[in-house]
Chains A and B, each alone.
Chain A
Amino acid sequence: MQKDYELIKKYQNGDQKSFEIIVKRHLSNTIGFFFTITNDRMVAEDLAQDVFFKLYKNLKKFRFDASFTTFLYRVNLNTANSWLTRNKWKNILHLDQSFDKGERDTNIEDEWKRKELWDSVAKLPKKQRIVVIMRIAQGLPYKEIALMTGMSQGTAKVNYHHALNKLKKWLKHD
């Protein structure tokens, strides 16, 4: 199996098929990442389209300073962050709607809880939000989060714990 950097080199030399292989290789993870945040398959696919469209345009200038996976995480993160910010007001309005406790459908209840959680994540300050997205949706270790965000591992940990405390407080009150 060809490695990512080999495929990127080929793509940079004009081989479009290599790009298709890269897309197919990382598609499932990317959609999964966005599905975790949006809980909407269609939206997740649209955001994944955005990511790969950005890659299509920028991969020709990729200089191999970092690994491709880190680069992809970074693009994913920026796209997710933009989406969360765009939908912040919409999310706030949705939080105002009260959930009918009378309903006993566990699926709906789970879905509502998930939505409530991620809507609350959207309300976090930017740094804390980034760390939470990377840690939860992408499952990255602090070391890699620190590398990608430019903050120290300690700062990443502190931001993460502050974020969790805030979420706990908000969701308790709600």
Chain B
Amino acid sequence: MIDIEKQLLDTRKSDVKNINEDEFLYKLEMRVRHSKDNRRTVIYSFMMLIVLSILTISQYDNPVMLDSTNYIDEMENIFETDLWNIDINSLDYDSLYLYDMAYILLEEGYLWEAYELISVSKSQKRNI
């Protein structure tokens, strides 16, 4: 036998004594559990990413929904809780209303009544 081979064979430790098998198995179990947890986390993260991607893609080309915002504005106008309406001249709204009324009267064939309505509004404005 070559000397070097003998030296190598002398290092051989085929059997190791005093191994705590239960501790080894516990460590192995913990490692398996940890690996499973990691795997689950990766799968959940991936699923979340897919869901977010689908939600993002599905929103492309969709109009911006502002209905609810308009509704809130209207409600604020009704209850006059919006502060930016304070500077608005309410007479402008009144005149618009009068013109609409006059138009309706004209449509209905009440020509003179429409003329009278407009005259009244004009005289009211002048008085103010």
B14 contacts which of A20, A29, A168 (Cβ < 8 Å)? A29
Confirm or deny: A44 has a beta carbon within 8 angstroms of a beta carbon on chain B.
yes
A114 to B7, CA, bound (A): 8
Q: A45-B24, A48-B24, A118-B11 are known contacts. Are A31 and B2 too (CB-CB below 8 A)?
A: no
User: Which residues of chain B are near A31, meaning CB under 8 Å?
Assistant: 16, 19
- Report whether A27 and B7 are in contact in the complex, using a CB–CB cutoff of 8 Å: no
- Report if A117 contacts B (CB, 8 A): yes
* Chain B interfacial residues counted at CB < 8 A: 22
Cβ of B28 < 8 Å from any Cβ of A?
A: yes
A residues 20-54 in Cβ contact with B at 8 Å: 20, 23-24, 27-29, 31-33, 35-36, 39, 41, 44-45, 48-49, 52-53
Interface residues of A in 42-95 (CB under 8 A from B): 44-45, 48-49, 52-53, 56
Q: Please, which residues of chain A bring their CB within 8 A of the CB of B21?
A: 23-24, 27
The verdict on A164 contacting B24 (CB below 8 Å), with A32-B16, A49-B31 known, is: no
State the interface size on chain A (CB cutoff 8 A). 33
For B25, what are the chain A residues with a Cβ–Cβ distance below 8 Å? 20, 23-24
**A7, CB-defined interface residue at 8 Å:** no
Q: Which of A27, A136, A167 contacts B12 (CB 8 A)?
A: A136
CA separation between A117 and B2, bound complex, in Å?
A: 14
* A20 CB, min distance to chain B CBs, angstroms: 6
B10-39 at interface with A (beta carbon < 8 Å): 11-16, 19, 21, 24-25, 27-28, 31-32, 35
Cβ of A14 < 8 Å from any Cβ of B? no
The answer to the question of B4 belonging to the interface, with a C-beta cut-off of 8 Å to chain A, is yes
Query: CB of B108 within 8 A of chain A?
Result: no
State whether the Cβ of B9 lies closer than 8 Å to any Cβ in chain A: yes
CB distance from A171 to the nearest CB of B (A): 7
> 15 new A-B pairs (CB below 8 Å) besides A49-B24, A164-B5?
A32-B15, A33-B14, A35-B13, A41-B16, A44-B16, A56-B32, A117-B8, A118-B11, A132-B8, A136-B5, A136-B9, A136-B12, A137-B12, A164-B2, A168-B4
10 A-B residue pairs with Cβ-Cβ distance under 8 Å, sorted by A, are A23-B25, A24-B21, A24-B25, A27-B21, A28-B15, A28-B16, A49-B31, A53-B28, A117-B4, A168-B3
Shortest beta-carbon contacts, A-B, top 9:
A136-B8, A168-B4, A31-B16, A32-B16, A114-B11, A35-B13, A32-B14, A32-B13, A36-B13
| B→A interface (CB under 8 Å) | 2-5, 7-9, 11-16, 19, 21, 24-25, 27-28, 31-32, 35
